[in-house]
Amino acid sequence: MSNFPFLSVLTVAPLVGALVVAFLPRRRPDLAKQVAFGWSLLVLALSVVMWVSFSADGDRLQFRESYPWIPTWDVNFTFAVDGIALVMLMLIAVLVPLVILASWHDADASKRSVPAYFALLLVLESTMIGVFAAADVFLFYVFFEVMLVPMYFLIGSYGGHQRQYAAVKFFLYSLVGGLFMLAAVIGLWVVGGKTFDWQALTQVDISTGTERWLFLGFFLAFAIKAPFFPFHTWLPDAGRAAPAGAAALLVGVLDKVGTFGILRYCLPLFPEASKWFAPWALALGLIGILYAALLAVGQSDLKRLVSYTSIAHFGFIGVGIFAFTTQAGTGAVLYMLNHGLATGLLFLVVGMLIARRGSSLISDFGGAGKLVPLLAGVLFFAGLASLALPGTAPFVSEFLVLIGTFTVNKPVAVIATLGIVLAAAYVLWMVQRTTQGTLNPELTEVKAMHRDLTLREKAVVAPLIALIVLLGFYPKPVTDVINPAVQATMQDVGKTDPAPEVGSVQEAAQ
Amino acid sequence: MDEILTYAQAEPAGTVTYAAADGLLSSVWLLVAIPLASAAILLLLGRRADRWGHWLGVAAIGAAFVLGLTSFFQLRGLENKSVELSLWDFITVGDLRVDFGLLFDPLAAVFVLLITGVGFLIHLYAVEYMAHDEGRRRFFAYFNLFVAAMLLLVLGNNYVMLYFGWEGVGLASYLLISFWYGRPSAATAGKKAFLMNRVGDAGLAIGIFILFATLGTTQYDEVFSSVGGLASGTVLVLGLLLLLGAAGKSGQFPLQAWLPDAMEGPTPVSALIHAATMVTAGVYLIARSNPIFSANETLQLVVVSVGALTLLMGCVIGAAKDDIKRVLAWSTVSQIGYMFLGVGLGGAAYALAIVHLLAHGFFKANMFLGAGSVMHGMNDQVDIRRFGGLSKYMKITWITFMMGWLAIIGMFPFSGFFSKEPIIVAAFEREGWTAWLFGGAALLGAGLTAFYMTRLFVLTFHGPKRWTEDIEHPHESPKLMTIPLILLAIGSVGAGFLLATSVPDWLTATAGLGGEHAEHAAVLPHWLLTTLSLVVTVLGAGLAWALFRNGTATAPQPAGVLVTAARRNLYTDAFNEVVFEKPGIFLTRALVFLDNRGVDGLVNGLAAGVGGGSGRLRRWQTGFVRSYATSILTGALLVVAAFLAVQAGWLA
């Protein structure tokens, strides 16, 4: 099975689906939804087969395919995945069908075409898969930029309040970052022997000064994408304006390209520069954890609040990556997956609340638990996952990041741990202001607020809840896949885990 | 075998090992799984389980108790009385190996019996108490979830499992405190409890990080085997962090403020979580980690100080409160202070603290449920100034509450006498002036406890009626509520002697708890201390009886400095508000402003700058051929000049 061209098929399949959906008649919206949903399920099925075919102990990059594209510049359609990319592909494959299901009625009210909305979601899936599957730096860059287009239209055409402003800001901000990366990509091509092949480029020696500049070019693009403090302000605007489903994909997957890029490109290609800049990156991560959490506490809009929690979580991922230990690195990658599930769920549930109320302002809610107990319960669960309660998947990743960081950098780990107190504050206060306390009389007048989760909505949240709990108790299947890739990355950087300070305990105990 | 078990603080080279569980003991995982499954069923089935859900909840805890009891007897037959059960690899990354595993040893076993035994009675009581609440099924789901998390906390075989259960009980506690979430005060109290607990949890988490960074493991056996190799400073920091976690969960200074507010939950919650089980988790943590705490004397001194300070604080504030549940809550804070004092003293006093914990579990659960019974009959009134004379109307509640009252004030032969008095004696066994300090505090606390508990008892059940007008004839509670009261009352009477004679021996098989006994002789003879503690008790109780036997005013009375301070929780809440809450809110607002205007302002400013610049540039496109021609000429001249410059080597 491992000879099957999984990656190119997975990249192209949603695109074909998008074309099919886009050409469906505009007056048959339900057919478009069903086709899009069915198509995304096929992609999911194929991804599961790929997951099973991947051998965790095998080569670092698997399922490699390469087709020539622009021979003069040695640009190829090269695809290959390591454990990190594989996990992200699985996340995409799981989230997209659920987002389609959750967005069933999101485009109905819009003046724009309903089939186009679902076609855009499938285009987005295709570009997201492409960006994680690419093993050619130029191909990666192309996907990195093209990915912006479907999201731009999803926000700008189907979004809420201030959607134009948010869409343009999102697009331009990412594009500016992308330009810096483009410069670095060209620079890399020049110093790296005129090739864009990732594996070949990892072998290249680059002089210290050049390496640092190239690192910065990539890092800036990724820091904007993730986003890290202080490049984060586009996210709350985009998160607030985007339809809930698109927002879930935006923070759940799209933003991970930033942290994934750091792991795949910055660390292995520029190991010395990565180490040199690590203190700065750690500082940015740390600021992000505390600053964004405090800002989340102070938000008055539900979607902006969730966006800020996401920035805080990206701080943890950044710290995990730049701590350079196996635990912290594995934790960071696992965090990327778990955050996709947990924050994805949170955005979707918040979207369900907002769709009912017709407002995303927290002050327009209050006591909603009395009206929609199940929805309030799921919101609370998503909140618990967001604050990394043991028993939910994010606990494992946050714990790994912190414990791995502590072994090499105690102050950073201790300050980051303060983040878990702040996380409890923003989650619980949000829950209190929306679902607890005295029932807001205006809420009872909104008819939709009397309807608890529908069957379709249950089908959206149930798989996510199940996955979050399952991975909270038994994360091993995922960590086993991530671990070798992270260890290889640590080797690229030339870092090893420190030994325990007091003797070898395992031997003493045996 | 003895060398292994009495390893304690003396020999760093000693090793702790646990046998693998087999036979019936290999099913101890069911202790956690049964209540958890029940909670999941109740939550997932929703309203479909409304009719029978509460009985499933009771049955689950009953089954866990039976299983706990049989496992307990199995354990007795084993040589080192400790078995370990690894369920699966929880986290395996690099050198970090965390087992999803359980440890069933004497310490865990007594906790299991307390949690499931007392828990079963409280569940039974709650069936009736919550009968008229539409959320009864949800209540039992949370109750079961709590028991599952608490059992995981005491049964885990490593610190990460402990943390797992630790945060789990925090969650269940939050859910139960804010059970009536429609009340803003309940929602706020739940949030406060969770947040203060998270502060403690962060401490515990960092403690776990230290264990991994220094010892490379979080498993109990490996940690306890090698903790002797740690530097003294490391042990101190580690212990202080664990203590912070313990203080958060157990409502000890400086993280005590959430516990009295937690009384917003239904009364059975206060009995189960905030009296008998969860709040004792801090004591469990210190007792379990005794090889760490015994390894550093400064650390022990801190624990003792926290215990002594908190026990006095609890007494002083408890004496000034008029809400029956808040008085009991502050008395819980105070009694756990005694337990901290005990575990801090180390050596044999660990066992004494556990005995007091068990005895307290009985009599405090008894009194909380008694308070619930009183509220049940008095239209949910909680103000003791509005009670009085209830002994005639609620005979069973009165008698059972009396047993609890006599037990908590330490009257012979009730259980508190056997459990508290030895801690007072042990405090006097310290070296030098600290014996007088901590012994004196413990003795003073005993007198104060007798005073405020007698005040509570007399004002509630005796003296003239001071009821509100809507109450005509208070009724005794139904059998389902009184039977648990009677059983717990029997426990309050009889358990003390039984526990005090059997538990310490039983606990010596727990790793580290078999340390040497009585390091120093007490500064006063034992008989004198016993007499003294009885005398202060009688004095305190007598004073309260004399003051309050004729009732009290129903309106708030003017008070002196101390009483005013006590009514306001010794200004600890005010301190938190001024130092953390207000600045926190200000900081948040300031940052929101900074982010919108500063950071984002810069981004938008940059964009506006580019946009504005482009606007200016656009004006160059005037449409006049003459200006275009000028610019073409200028450009051409510049290019030629540049070429010439390069040719001439001016730029080289």
Say if residue B12's pLDDT is above 50: no
What percent of chain A has a predicted confidence (pLDDT) above 90? 70
B interface test, pick of A401, A407, A410 with most B CB neighbours within 10 Å: A407
Residue A323's pLDDT is what? 93
Which segment of A9-23, B329-343, B496-510 scores lowest on mean pLDDT?
B496-510
Contacts of B171 in chain A (CB under 8 A): 384, 389
User: For residue A438, what pLDDT is reported?
Assistant: 87
Distance from CA of A327 to the nearest CA of B (A): 6
Q: How many Å from the N-terminal Cα to the C-terminal Cα in chain A?
A: 42
Chain pair A-B, CB pairs under 8 angstroms: 182
Nearest chain A CA: its distance from B249 CA (Å): 15
Distances (CA, A) of B250 to A298, B259, B261, B310, B456: 30, 8, 14, 11, 23
pLDDT > 50? residue B13: no
Lowest model confidence (mean pLDDT) among A72-81, A395-404, A442-451, B400-409: A442-451
pLDDT digits (tens, 9 = 90+) for A403-423: 999 999 999 999 999 999 999
CB A335 within 8 A of CB A397: yes
Residue B563 has a pLDDT of 81
Select from B44, B84, B87, B93 the residue whose CB has the most chain A CBs within 10 Å, as the one to mutate to test that interface: B93
pLDDT confidence of residue A504: 45
Tell me what pLDDT residue B7 has.
Answer: 37
Measure A22 CA to nearest chain B CA, in Å: 34
> So what's the pLDDT on residue B512?
67
Is beta strand A75-81 parallel, antiparallel or unpaired with respect to B19-20?
unpaired
What's the CA gap between B539 and A431, in Å, rounded?
49
pLDDT in tens, B510-531: 766 755 544 567 778 888 888 8
Mutation site for B-interface testing, chosen from A233, A370, A434 by largest number of B Cβ within 10 Å = A233
Maximum pairwise Cα distance, chain A: 73
Q: How many helices (H) and strands (E) does chain B have?
A: 26, 3
Within its chain, how far is the Cα of B648 from the centroid? 83
**Is the per-residue pLDDT at A169 higher than 70?**
yes
- How many CA within 13 A on the CB side of residue B632? 6
Q: Which residue is closest to B92 within chain A, CA to CA? A: A476
Residue B569: the pLDDT is: 84
Name which of B504, B354, B508 is nearest B5 in CA terms.
Answer: B508
Rounded-to-integer distance, Cα A71 and Cα A244, Å: 42
pLDDT in tens, B143-184: 999 999 999 999 999 999 999 999 999 999 999 999 999 889
Amino acid at A135: A
For the segment A426-434, the average pLDDT, to the nearest whole number, is: 93
Mutate to test the interface with B, among A429, A436, A439, A495 (most CBs of B within 10 A): A436
- HEC string of A337-394? HHHHHHHHHHHHHHHHHHHHHCCCEHHHCCCHHHCCHHHHHHHHHHHHHHCCCCCCHH
- CA nearest to A401 within chain B: B209
Contact A406 B209 (CB under 8 A): yes
Q: Distances in Å between the alpha carbon of B208 and those of A414, A497, B201, B222?
A: 12, 18, 10, 13
Q: How far is A458 from chain B (nearest CA, A)?
A: 12
Interchain proximity A295–B588, CB inside 8 Å? yes
> Nearest-5° angle of CA A284, CA A285, CA A291?
85
What's the pLDDT score for residue A2? 60
Peptide bond into A230 cis (omega under 30): yes
- Tell me which residue in B15, B94, B171 faces A384 most closely, judged by beta carbons: B171
| Residue A47 token pair | 């991804």
Q: Is A295 on the interface with B (CB under 8 A)?
A: yes
Among the listed ranges A8-22, B16-30, B145-159, which one has the minimum average pLDDT value?
B16-30
More confident residue, B20 or B69: B69
Name the residue in chain B with its Cα closest to that of A300.
B592
Joined together, the tokens standing for residue B529 give: 């201390």
Question: Could B96 and A403 be called an inter-chain contact, meaning their C-beta atoms sit closer than 8 Å?
Answer: yes
DSSP string for residues in A427-459:
HHHHHHHHHSSSPPHHHHH-GGGG----HHHHH
User: Residue B473 burial by CB count (10 A; 0-12/13-18/19+): exposed, middle or buried?
Assistant: exposed
- Which residues of chain A lie closer than 8 angstroms to B606, CB-CB? none
At residue B6, does pLDDT exceed 60? no
Do B230 and B13 touch, CB atoms closer than 8 A? no
Instruction: Rounding to the nearest 10 degrees, give the CA dihedral for residues B447, B449, B455, B456.
Output: -170
pLDDT confidence band for B467 (50 / 70 / 90)? confident
Stronger pLDDT, B313 or B646, i.e. the higher one: B313
Q: Which of B93, B187, B212 sits opposite A436 (nearest CB)?
A: B187
Query: Is residue B127 within 8 Å of B254, Cβ to Cβ?
Result: no
Choose the closest CB to B182 out of A418, A429, A439.
A439
The string of pLDDT tens digits covering residues B315-362 is 999 888 888 899 999 999 999 999 999 988 887 788 888 888 988 988
Q: Is residue B101 helix, strand or coil?
A: strand
Which positions in chain A touch B214 (Cβ < 8 Å)? 500-502
User: Do B374 and B388 form a contact (C-beta atoms < 8 A)?
Assistant: no
pTM: predicted TM-score of the whole model, two decimal places: 0.91
CB contact under 8 A, A436 and B181: yes
pLDDT more than 70, % of chain A = 98
Give me the pLDDT at residue B30, please: 92
Find the Cα–Cα–Cα–Cα dihedral B54, B56, B62, B64, rounded to 10°.
-120
Are the C-beta atoms of A487 and A326 separated by less than 8 Å?
A: yes
Q: In 10 A of CB B412, how many CB atoms?
A: 14
pLDDT at residue A99 greater than cutoff 90: yes
Residue B514: the pLDDT is 57
| B570 Cα to chain A: minimum distance (Å) | 25
Is A406's CB within 8 Å of B194's CB?
A: no
A384 contacts B202? CB cut-off 8 A: no
C-beta separation of A127 from A146 below 8 A: yes
Average pLDDT over residues B301-307: 92
What average pLDDT does the structure give for chain B?
86
Whether B209 sits inside 8 A of A169 (CB atoms) is no
A483 touches chain B (CB under 8 A): yes
Encoded tokens for B606: 């940059």
List the single residue in A396, A420, A497 with the smallest CB-CB distance to B95: A497
A428·B195 Cβ contact <8 A: yes
Contact A406 B92 (CB under 8 A): no
As a whole number of angstroms, the distance between CA A241 and CA A243 comes to 7
Is B224 within 8 Å of B103 (Cβ atoms)? no
For B191, which of A325, A429, A476 is closest by C-beta distance?
A429
ipTM of the complex: 0.92
User: What length is written for chain A?
Assistant: 510
Select the more confidently predicted residue: A47 or A25: A47
What residues have CB less than 8 Å from B605, skipping those under 6 apart? none
Contacting residues of A for B195, CB less than 8 Å apart: 421, 424-425, 428
